[in-house]
Amino acid sequence: MIPKLTYHLSFPDPLHTSEEGIIAYGGDLSPSRLMLAYRSGIFPWYSAKDPILWWSPDPRLILELDDFKLSRSLRKKIGQFEIRFDTAFSEVIRECAKAPRPGQKGSWIVPEMIEAYETLHALGHAHSIEAYQNDVLVGGLYGVSVGGVFCGESMFAKVSDASKAALAVLVEHLREWGYDFIDCQVPTPHLKSLGAKEVSRDYFLERLHLASDQKMSENDSKKRTL
């Protein structure tokens, strides 16, 4: 009888990367590999012409929930939107795919990424926060929940401040649910203007590991949101 082949998923030590922050390439986007990556402080980011690239950048951008800068003008605008959770994940990730990251010509959210994160959403790991006006989706964001950390992936806005309003409501709920911080991954001026800060990779990994064992609140589990 031929023995059944098994394999063990693993990543290199995220403290040892290339100068750019790449830790590995190849593999697949299976749910088990993706969740192992997030629990290890690693995320995929690549273009259609590249193999899957796995990153653990230094510095890392995080948003402490109490550091979120809710301006007076944004506070007034939040009421103009209806914020929903997990009602339009596929629409949100596809809208985000139309808006590439700064400095990147094409979108990094390739079809394989969309399919993989839709699977994570179906399994309860990936989530979307949507901003609506007159029942029309006008902004939002999505990410992956890992213990007490929300790993933000991307956001979009068709109406001014729509994605900021969605983020503001997310921050409020994460506080209520006992989350620790939001992983913003790569530093950008936009996220820094909202209160995110750069930290060393060592510090980020330490915080991530401390928060990774946090359990979702009873209220959160019932809603199957974050």
Question: What three-state secondary structure class fits 163?
Answer: helix
For the question of whether the overall pTM of this predicted structure is more than 0.85, the answer is yes
The predicted structure's pLDDT at residue 49: 87
Domains and CATH numbers, the chain: 60-223 (3.40.630.70)
DSSP calls for 68-90: ----HHHHHHHTTSEEEESS-HH
pLDDT tens figures, 42-79: 999 998 889 999 999 999 999 999 999 999 999 999 99
The backbone torsions φ and ψ at residue 25, rounded to the nearest 5 degrees and listed phi first, read -145, 155
142: β partners:
128, 154
CB 8 within 8 A of CB 19: no
Query: Of residues 8 and 201, which shows the higher confidence score?
Result: 201
The predicted structure's pLDDT at residue 16: 86
Work out the angle at residue 64's Cα, subtended by the Cα atoms of residues 89 and 167, and round it to the nearest 5 degrees: 30
CB atoms within 10 A of CB 78: 17
